[in-house]
Chains A and B, each alone.
Chain A
């Protein structure tokens, strides 16, 4: 015997908040635990809620779990079909082409961060529409906003949560409160605070579609950061008000389990929860034309649900990208073998996970905050970085016992690995470099910054960066800016002008990756055949060769060398006739200089904290 509903009422209201119901219908009992009711053609009110009676008690009024349109603060649903709320030209909207997943380059972004800076040049600050404005300029005339994203050369814009979250009171937007949005209220409705009018149910729908449309028109794809692992305070949700307990996992004592560190965790393995999640993801792809999904704490969700999502999306488009955090933030009652954690990625075909091995290998340990990484000369991290260079697939030249986290290769293909050194969580790269390199000059920090992302963007797999890192973005050292003000979080476009040479290097680096398939090998076998690490290297250095026109590259051999040490190093590279295309902060694909041909192995002199790329054509 469970706490199940004896009656379900559908009530209509005139407004999204306040007032009394204008009509109250008893819903009709239907099959398989459902209730149904068909409204008259001219309903008395536009906003709706349902209210269950359970154990003789009337529960709270809530929208239903499948709600697709809401009023202010998501308090009530709306009798509105989002398919009828489209921007001009929406029916002609098409995904930009994507040949293969290893061609992806992800830029992560919070909507407010892009536009809130007073000098962003963007009119709709903090809004969906801010991301649709072309031709915006910041200090010294640098391009900002959408134009910047296009200019940088990414393929996918990954937006922090844009589904309706509870953290921002949409009735007091003039207070300019900030939140990342990891506090879901409704899974399948856009967030209202990013809309020009959160009380107008159509505005958030139309304006998010305008975002997709604007990105697609400029050749960019959209990834939505989706949070299905937990909800806001469970008592507030339609889940607990309609089917108490069902949607959440519990400890043996009946309390909510908390693998998310957010107060509850979703029981994705239960059939009606899985159905809701799968249909929600498919809905975002179908109705909003989303091109990819990043799963927050994917390791909380069960494997079958993630597989079902892949199958459902493949019915729309095989190129839709799926990736997530393959870990949890605490213990879960669901056994790890059943969950979508990193260790189970090989059972999650065409779903990727973030590699914290390369991240912490290059930049330094996530919780030992002042500890630097390979790029700042910290010893013993070579194998962790190499693990990421081959995109977490099996490679015979890696000593897995020395890798920082996973002691086995966890990816089946390079398309299952996201490589990065920073994201919204924890410190940005520049802030981490500053706090782990006390006493270093700005020039030295820039060298280590450039080395860090040179490793990321030459590695196999799918590279990722938080937008703004390409011009040394800072949050003033913040480790957790989830609710800190815009002054901390916003992108300061003045830095794009101030650090113009750094930005130009990043742009060239992304272009190098796009131009050379050797850095984007699509299969494990190709990496194993064409990527060989060079032997007998001094500590604190890594060198590898992409040989024999890897991936059909025009370059016959590419030698990539990293010196993480804060001192010069000598690295022996194979005999050959090389052109230097990258050295430190210089990147010239046509060649910086030609080295004298040599029939003997070459002792390459590496300055401190630098990368070098040599090619044989």
Chain B
């Protein structure tokens, strides 16, 4: 229902969204295999005047390292 509110933006987006919009189906990863981090400290945390950044960006698994070696 409704939500025509971004229609002009959409038209623009679609026109310039070629690059990001497609991950070919053969390469769409199995996201359920990605590790899950349960800790409370993602992002910046501050302790005793020092900042620690923690970012979730999973790495390739060892068994798929041929991809990295050739890539």
Question: Is A492 part of the binding interface, using a Cβ–Cβ cutoff of 8 Å?
Answer: no
Contacts A35-B57, A240-B20 given; does A66 touch B44 at CB 8 Å: yes
Closest Cβ neighbor of A329 among chain B residues: B3
Q: A550: shortest Cβ distance to chain B, in Å?
A: 33
Is A41 in contact with B50, judged by CB distance below 8 angstroms? yes
Which of A66, A234, A262 is close to B43, meaning CB atoms less than 8 Å apart?
A: A66
Query: Which residues in A have their C-beta under 8 angstroms from that of B30?
Result: 2
Is B51 in contact with A39, judged by CB distance below 8 angstroms? yes
Q: A470: shortest Cβ distance to chain B, in Å?
A: 23
Contacts A38-B50, A66-B44 given; does A32 touch B19 at CB 8 Å: no
Question: Is A501 part of the binding interface, using a Cβ–Cβ cutoff of 8 Å?
Answer: no
In the complex, which residues 34-68 of chain A have their Cβ closer than 8 Å to any Cβ of chain B? 34-41, 43, 48, 50, 52, 55-56, 64-68
Is A263 in contact with B10, judged by CB distance below 8 angstroms? yes
Q: Mark A335-350, 1 if CB is under 8 A from B, else 0.
A: 0000000000000000
In the complex, which residues 71-124 of chain A have their Cβ closer than 8 Å to any Cβ of chain B? 77, 79, 81
Q: Mark B12-44, 1 if CB is under 8 A from A, else 0.
A: 011011011111110111110111111100111
Q: Mark A236-279, 1 if CB is under 8 A from B, else 0.
A: 00001011111000101111100011110001001110011001
Is A77 in contact with B44, judged by CB distance below 8 angstroms? yes
Query: Which residues in B have their C-beta under 8 angstroms from that of A366?
Result: 1-2
Bound-complex Cα distance A37 to B57 (A): 14
Is B57 in contact with A8, judged by CB distance below 8 angstroms? yes
Is A246 in contact with B34, judged by CB distance below 8 angstroms? yes
Is B59 in contact with A262, judged by CB distance below 8 angstroms? no
Closest Cβ neighbor of A356 among chain B residues: B1
Is A262 in contact with B57, judged by CB distance below 8 angstroms? no
Question: Is A29 part of the binding interface, using a Cβ–Cβ cutoff of 8 Å?
Answer: yes
Question: Is A491 part of the binding interface, using a Cβ–Cβ cutoff of 8 Å?
Answer: no
Closest Cβ neighbor of A29 among chain B residues: B59
Query: Which residues in B have their C-beta under 8 angstroms from that of A64?
Result: 42-44, 53, 55
Bound-complex Cα distance A551 to B61 (A): 61
Is B31 in contact with A246, judged by CB distance below 8 angstroms? yes
Is B58 in contact with A480, judged by CB distance below 8 angstroms? no
Is B4 in contact with A480, judged by CB distance below 8 angstroms? yes
Is A79 in contact with B68, judged by CB distance below 8 angstroms? no
Question: Is A596 part of the binding interface, using a Cβ–Cβ cutoff of 8 Å?
Answer: no
Is A183 in contact with B6, judged by CB distance below 8 angstroms? yes
Contacts A66-B43, A356-B1, A482-B6 given; does A234 touch B20 at CB 8 Å: yes
Is A68 in contact with B60, judged by CB distance below 8 angstroms? no
Bound-complex Cα distance A245 to B26 (A): 13
Bound-complex Cα distance A235 to B17 (A): 8
Is B29 in contact with A2, judged by CB distance below 8 angstroms? yes
| B7, B54, B60, B68, most chain A CB atoms within 10 A | B54
Query: Which residues in B have their C-beta under 8 angstroms from that of A182?
Result: 5-6
Q: A243: shortest Cβ distance to chain B, in Å?
A: 6
Is A56 in contact with B43, judged by CB distance below 8 angstroms? no
Q: A308: shortest Cβ distance to chain B, in Å?
A: 13
Query: Which residues in A have their C-beta under 8 angstroms from that of B3?
Result: 260-262, 297, 329, 425
Is A10 in contact with B53, judged by CB distance below 8 angstroms? yes
Is B31 in contact with A242, judged by CB distance below 8 angstroms? no
Is A33 in contact with B4, judged by CB distance below 8 angstroms? no
Bound-complex Cα distance A483 to B5 (A): 9
Query: Which residues in B have their C-beta under 8 angstroms from that of A1?
Result: 29, 60-61, 64, 67
Query: Which residues in B have their C-beta under 8 angstroms from that of A480?
Result: 4-5, 7
Question: Is A176 part of the binding interface, using a Cβ–Cβ cutoff of 8 Å?
Answer: no
Which of A33, A36, A50, A261 is close to B6, meaning CB atoms less than 8 Å apart?
A: A261
Question: Is A180 part of the binding interface, using a Cβ–Cβ cutoff of 8 Å?
Answer: yes
Query: Which residues in A have their C-beta under 8 angstroms from that of B68?
Result: 6, 56
Is B24 in contact with A272, judged by CB distance below 8 angstroms? no
Q: A86: shortest Cβ distance to chain B, in Å?
A: 15
Bound-complex Cα distance A405 to B9 (A): 29
Is B37 in contact with A32, judged by CB distance below 8 angstroms? yes
Q: B51: shortest Cβ distance to chain A, in Å?
A: 5
Bound-complex Cα distance A345 to B39 (A): 30
Question: Is A5 part of the binding interface, using a Cβ–Cβ cutoff of 8 Å?
Answer: yes
Is A33 in contact with B1, judged by CB distance below 8 angstroms? no
Question: Is A552 part of the binding interface, using a Cβ–Cβ cutoff of 8 Å?
Answer: no
Bound-complex Cα distance A426 to B50 (A): 49
Is B53 in contact with A36, judged by CB distance below 8 angstroms? yes
Contacts A5-B59, A250-B23 given; does A245 touch B10 at CB 8 Å: no
Is A68 in contact with B44, judged by CB distance below 8 angstroms? yes
Q: Mark A547-566, 1 if CB is under 8 A from B, else 0.
A: 00000000000000000000
Query: Which residues in A have their C-beta under 8 angstroms from that of B14?
Result: 263
Q: A80: shortest Cβ distance to chain B, in Å?
A: 8
Bound-complex Cα distance A245 to B21 (A): 10
Is A245 in contact with B28, judged by CB distance below 8 angstroms? yes
Question: Is A598 part of the binding interface, using a Cβ–Cβ cutoff of 8 Å?
Answer: no
Is B51 in contact with A31, judged by CB distance below 8 angstroms? no
- Give 9 A-B pairs besides A52-B57, A253-B22 with Cβ atoms closer than 8 angstroms: A1-B61, A4-B58, A36-B55, A39-B50, A67-B43, A243-B58, A276-B42, A329-B2, A425-B2
What is A's interface to B at a CB cutoff of 8 Å? 1-6, 8, 10, 27, 29-41, 43, 48, 50, 52, 55-56, 64-68, 77, 79, 81, 180, 182-183, 233-235, 240, 242-246, 250, 252-256, 260-263, 267, 270-272, 275-276, 279, 297, 327, 329, 356, 366-367, 425-426, 479-480, 482-483
What is B's interface to A at a CB cutoff of 8 Å? 1-10, 13-14, 16-17, 19-25, 27-31, 33-39, 42-44, 46, 49-61, 64, 67-68, 71
Ordered by A's residue number, 26 sampled pairs between the chains whose C-beta atoms are within 8 Å are A1-B67, A2-B33, A4-B59, A4-B60, A8-B57, A31-B37, A32-B35, A32-B56, A34-B37, A34-B55, A35-B57, A39-B53, A67-B44, A233-B16, A234-B21, A235-B17, A235-B20, A254-B28, A261-B7, A262-B9, A262-B10, A262-B13, A263-B6, A272-B36, A366-B1, A480-B5
Pick the 8 closest A-B CB pairs, nearest first: A66-B43, A2-B29, A33-B58, A235-B20, A329-B3, A32-B37, A1-B64, A33-B35
